[in-house]
Structure 1
């Protein structure tokens, strides 16, 4: 009935269609007449807008010149692309407009691949008939007034690669059917009224490059997106997501989480986001140390962390990326000095840092010292001036209470210590043991400040890497973990002790390093060194979980120290490169990633504390791989070894006639750089290098291959990775390896230069694999 009325009402159009059928083919050979009628029908349904004035019965639609308002593309007498862009200020469509009729008309273009209808004042629910356009690859209906839920039938558009429904009135949840669109690369639904949570099915949509659901009412945790290796843009602005920071892949270029409910700390692995250009986490509830390394990422140009509760120390000499254009650190709890690299006087940079705890002369917006030092009001706001006296009284009362509690705790501690000693004396009388264990406390006392060492802020945050807090172990625990040091638990000899594998009572695996002390070293007070070791925590180190002292009864001197480290279950780097089955060996991207991890670990040991730790026994067999195949340095130089034992002659020294001089930090750095070059050499050739003689031979071959052509370079490297590495990536690693192995220490590169070149090698490899024009360029350091 309705259809009959509509046909009567628009009989003139039917007559027009009949007329078109009579037009000679010579005047309309480029388009099917039925589709010409459908275009004129669309013009009518849109109330004959001015932008479509060129459309009339005599138009050769497929030959119309594209313009900003409409574009028509044809193929084999059929429309494959239809773009119509209206005027945002054009009048609304009449009440007689029917979205159902409009979409029905669109379905008469069965070969349509691209449909873009923006700013046309379309209104009403999006009909399910849209799914009849089964060949659609791009659907853009943004800036209209479409409402209701997004129809599930869109899941049938299995060729769809881009879905843009921005600036509409869609509501309801984004349901799990979305993962039926496995080719989808762009999902943009911003500025609607969507609610609920993001479906977990997003985690499997590996083709996604852009996710933009900003300006909605979505909430809850973001699904795990680590498997979306192509994802470049994530925009979640103005929702209620949180509290967990999203789990993301490392190739993201834009992360925008502004104005949500995210909390906790920034994940440590953000320092590996080499492609990241823009990050905005402002107006959330983040706490904990702000990682200054964000400012020096190789591609970063926009950083906004304003309106959180980030803490940590900034330094004048901190490094920044030269491309930085915008930095907003306002409204946090940062202390220290504004990095000079931000170049506050530069016209091409916008830098904001008000309402922090920074030492900036003449800046009245910075918080007062008591606020910064106590951090008691870290989640609150500054009191008004008229309440300063009340605040001072509260602070004094709090200090008195704290002092009283501390004094009581000390008295109780002394009493417990006295009783425990009495108990131990009785035990000794009844059963004289061969050795005595010290258990002075469950954790290291962080108040024992090391006056000659400065910790970089990430090292202070215990547990940041998911590692338990550092504590003191009893000898009984160590013996139980290793089955009384059974030979089956023995791993091997380290440079300064033996290594055992152990299992704690909670089932967690650990590595136990046993250091034997000489009699003259046994009386040393190790508290200072232990305090340093407890804070040596990094993603690319096997971090210490605790320690245990063993004493002799005759003179109560320390005979052995046991250090308990996290366990890496996937063996060492050599076993995954040169000793494994060919098809199970690490790929070229995995090898570069491992090399970058080693370089970061060495960089941390050299600069994580001052003075740094050098002569770190860098061997490929001491590079371990955790359950995620993340490289971790083991058997590195602990402060207790450096200060209490004679450091052995190192590989980098003996092969070049050098001595490892403790008073030369530069010399120590270059020794580690040489040893790192030996590791790179084995990563390249895939064969174990057992002697300095083999290093010399391989070095000569490497030099010859660099002066030769591409084929010469390919003959040298491991055949397992020959096909998976780009030539530029391979050549970059070869060149930095050669520089590391230079005979003259001062000619060897710094660890920072090594790291930079390896990151460049990783980036060019990624670019060669993806051939993406969106991938940013990272200049290589020579």
Structure 2
């Protein structure tokens, strides 16, 4: 039995996992009172009976009831649910229309239950759905080729049901990113995995789910009435006529019912309406969510620990990528073949799960072309008190290593050209700009390092370092902290907190220019003096300063502008450093100069060339240099 009284003493409970025990009996109604509950995992037990009403749990994102004896009614949950697993239970009702309004639902697994009735095709086209499994039920209904699919649907298992018609064309795509299983139905696919259509009709009849069947008593009563009527009119012919008329009326009535359009459209519209209201209530979140397709990334979702263990062969050492202040890093491969990076953070016992979720929600919103974007998370909890023991953050895997590996001497000399280096610098600057202005409040003082700038398969630069308390150094030992260095910021200097990232960017840009690593501030400071002298000297002095790997492949004017920006970023007083917008403006101009020098028709970021437009900071740089700054 579940300890009902014990649960009532945990009103702030956010994650509850009791999987793989021998608990039995019914679920307590008190589960519906834990308003902070986000994760409820009761899988692989012996619970039975109805699932209590959980619709009041507005924050519930994960409900996993796999392998119990619960049912028969579909559970009531809130509209923010992301993962809903009802696999291997005794649910035998239909899918309620309200499921169409679960606009954040990504994983729905109702396989191996006793669900009956028409399959609701809106499940294919829900806005966030990635995984859909209805295997081993008794769903009926006819599918059509023009049924739409959601943009993020990656896996659909329709096997072992009573479906007829044609497989939707969106499920017959040859795309390797979408897996579709549909054997054991009566679909017109032309392969041997399907039953003849009579099988589905007979099976549906056997379980009593064909609509509009008359009960035997009603049928006998109808014939009795007909015989009386036939006797009254005094003849067999009259009876036959009336029977014929009755048959025609019944047939017409049934035909009208059959041609009624199924409620797919209205359900889809309701779902869209719910999604729109979410957009209006949380515009910053939606602004980024709308960009997911452009980034080519799947939507953010919770992962199960089993899924991550499978992706890493139980976190085998061969998958280990390294360990730093941001936890252990592993590389993994999901079932669909895509690679991921997993960051494992060990938590101090009895940390507030609510604070974790706040920061996880923020991480989920950091989606940008020049950020290493998070794909999801997994919480591992202690079984005795349900406090979080480890957090696994799942990120996109960026395959080409760090920017330092591509520009600095002493590393793998797969060096970048000058054009590629400016493009990488622009990418880093755009990532910083998004952290500062793309979300509210902005993310500042990110302790940026060139070793945490990664390059993807197209050599696009992506920042992997964010100043979020969840990722702060030593968080697992002392709990939620501010970022390194943040405690030293006086109240008078808080207004310049965005300029600390500008200084770090200047150090990164300096290494991009000279092509050798800087492992200390003193080392970078000494080179800064050489940089300033080279700017005011002739082109030969700049040629001796820049990385020899890019000699004779750059415009001197482009190099000079880049060096001037770098010098301004490294100014000692934060107030005198340029804004990130000014940095971007000048870098893009330097890229345009370089592309014009190479004879290209477009700049490295695709914007038109305007070589006669003076850079915004050039005069300011010269004035400050003359004043000795």
Scaled by the length of structure 1, the TM-score of the pair is 0.41
- How does 1:611-760 map onto structure 2 within 5 Å? 611-638=441-468, 640-641=470-471, 645-650=480-485, 659-660=488-489, 666-760=495-589
How many angstroms apart in 2 are the aligned matches of 1:735 and 1:673?
14
- How does 1:164-175 map onto structure 2 within 5 Å? none
Match of 1:761 in 2: 590
For residue 532 of structure 1, report the CA deviation from its aligned partner.
2.9
How many angstroms apart in 2 are the aligned matches of 1:758 and 1:674?
15
Contact 1:500 1:513 in 2 (8 A): yes
Alpha carbons of structure 1 residues 736 and 450: separation in structure 2 relative to 1, 3 Å: farther
Match of 1:776 in 2: 610
For residue 776 of structure 1, report the CA deviation from its aligned partner.
2.8
Alpha carbons of structure 1 residues 468 and 603: separation in structure 2 relative to 1, 3 Å: same
Larger Rg belongs to: 1
How many angstroms apart in 1 are the aligned matches of 2:510 and 2:465?
20
Contact 1:459 1:608 in 2 (8 A): no
Match of 1:306 in 2: none
Which is bigger in relative contact order (C-alpha 8 A, separation at least 6)?
2
For residue 706 of structure 1, report the CA deviation from its aligned partner.
1.6
For residue 677 of structure 1, report the CA deviation from its aligned partner.
0.6
Match of 1:58 in 2: none
The correspondence for 1:572, drawn from 385, 389, 402, is 402
How many angstroms apart in 2 are the aligned matches of 1:771 and 1:569?
29
- How does 1:233-382 map onto structure 2 within 5 Å? none
Contact 1:662 1:668 in 2 (8 A): no
- SS for the counterpart of 1:546 is strand
- SS for the counterpart of 2:564 is helix
How many angstroms apart in 1 are the aligned matches of 2:306 and 2:490?
39
Contact 2:372 2:395 in 1 (8 A): yes
For residue 696 of structure 1, report the CA deviation from its aligned partner.
1.2
Alpha carbons of structure 1 residues 772 and 671: separation in structure 2 relative to 1, 3 Å: closer
Contact 2:378 2:392 in 1 (8 A): yes
Alpha carbons of structure 1 residues 617 and 662: separation in structure 2 relative to 1, 3 Å: farther
How many angstroms apart in 2 are the aligned matches of 1:776 and 1:589?
17
Match of 1:555 in 2: 385
For residue 462 of structure 1, report the CA deviation from its aligned partner.
2.8
- SS for the counterpart of 2:444 is coil
How many angstroms apart in 1 are the aligned matches of 2:579 and 2:319?
38
How many angstroms apart in 2 are the aligned matches of 1:571 and 1:749?
29
- SS for the counterpart of 1:767 is helix
Deviations 1:493-547 (A, max 9, x none): 3433222211112221111112222235344354443333222211111111111
- How does 1:456-467 map onto structure 2 within 5 Å? 457-458=287-288, 460-467=290-297
How many angstroms apart in 2 are the aligned matches of 1:440 and 1:664?
47
- SS for the counterpart of 2:427 is helix
Contact 2:350 2:388 in 1 (8 A): no
- SS for the counterpart of 1:524 is helix
For residue 579 of structure 1, report the CA deviation from its aligned partner.
4.7
- SS for the counterpart of 1:463 is helix
Contact 2:353 2:388 in 1 (8 A): yes
Contact 2:469 2:483 in 1 (8 A): no
Deviations 1:444-486 (A, max 9, x none): 9988899898458355433321101111100111122222222
Deviations 1:684-732 (A, max 9, x none): 1100111112111111111221222211111111001121111111011
- SS for the counterpart of 2:377 is strand
Alpha carbons of structure 1 residues 580 and 480: separation in structure 2 relative to 1, 3 Å: farther
Which protein is richer in helix relative to its size?
A: 2
How many angstroms apart in 1 are the aligned matches of 2:333 and 2:494?
38
Deviations 1:314-356 (A, max 9, x none): xxxxxxxxxxxxxxxxxxxxxxxxxxxxxxxxxxxxxxxxxxx
Deviations 1:625-656 (A, max 9, x none): 11111111113234644796223435xx8xxx
Contact 1:455 1:608 in 2 (8 A): no
How many angstroms apart in 1 are the aligned matches of 2:57 and 2:539?
73
Match of 2:438 in 1: 608
Contact 2:405 2:413 in 1 (8 A): no
Alpha carbons of structure 1 residues 679 and 662: separation in structure 2 relative to 1, 3 Å: farther
How many angstroms apart in 2 are the aligned matches of 1:542 and 1:518?
26
How many angstroms apart in 1 are the aligned matches of 2:393 and 2:503?
27
- SS for the counterpart of 1:584 is coil
- How does 1:427-442 map onto structure 2 within 5 Å? none
How many angstroms apart in 1 are the aligned matches of 2:446 and 2:280?
21
Match of 1:530 in 2: 360
Structure 1 stretches of 5 or more lacking a match?
A: 1-406, 425-437
Contact 1:473 1:546 in 2 (8 A): yes
Structure 2 stretches of 5 or more lacking a match?
A: 1-51, 71-81, 86-104, 108-127, 129-274, 603-607, 618-629
How many angstroms apart in 2 are the aligned matches of 1:603 and 1:676?
11
Contact 2:63 2:83 in 1 (8 A): no
Alpha carbons of structure 1 residues 720 and 412: separation in structure 2 relative to 1, 3 Å: closer
Match of 2:75 in 1: none
Contact 2:405 2:411 in 1 (8 A): no
For residue 492 of structure 1, report the CA deviation from its aligned partner.
2.3
How many angstroms apart in 2 are the aligned matches of 1:771 and 1:543?
32
Alpha carbons of structure 1 residues 514 and 719: separation in structure 2 relative to 1, 3 Å: same
- SS for the counterpart of 1:677 is helix
- SS for the counterpart of 1:549 is strand
- Aligned positions, number: 356
How many angstroms apart in 2 are the aligned matches of 1:534 and 1:448?
16
How many angstroms apart in 2 are the aligned matches of 1:409 and 1:498?
36
How many angstroms apart in 1 are the aligned matches of 2:471 and 2:448?
15
How many angstroms apart in 1 are the aligned matches of 2:382 and 2:84?
16
For residue 555 of structure 1, report the CA deviation from its aligned partner.
1.1
Alpha carbons of structure 1 residues 456 and 748: separation in structure 2 relative to 1, 3 Å: farther
- SS for the counterpart of 2:295 is coil
How many angstroms apart in 1 are the aligned matches of 2:303 and 2:492?
34
Alpha carbons of structure 1 residues 627 and 419: separation in structure 2 relative to 1, 3 Å: closer
Deviations 1:236-280 (A, max 9, x none): xxxxxxxxxxxxxxxxxxxxxxxxxxxxxxxxxxxxxxxxxxxxx
The answer to whether the aligner puts 1:477 opposite 2:307 as a matched pair is yes
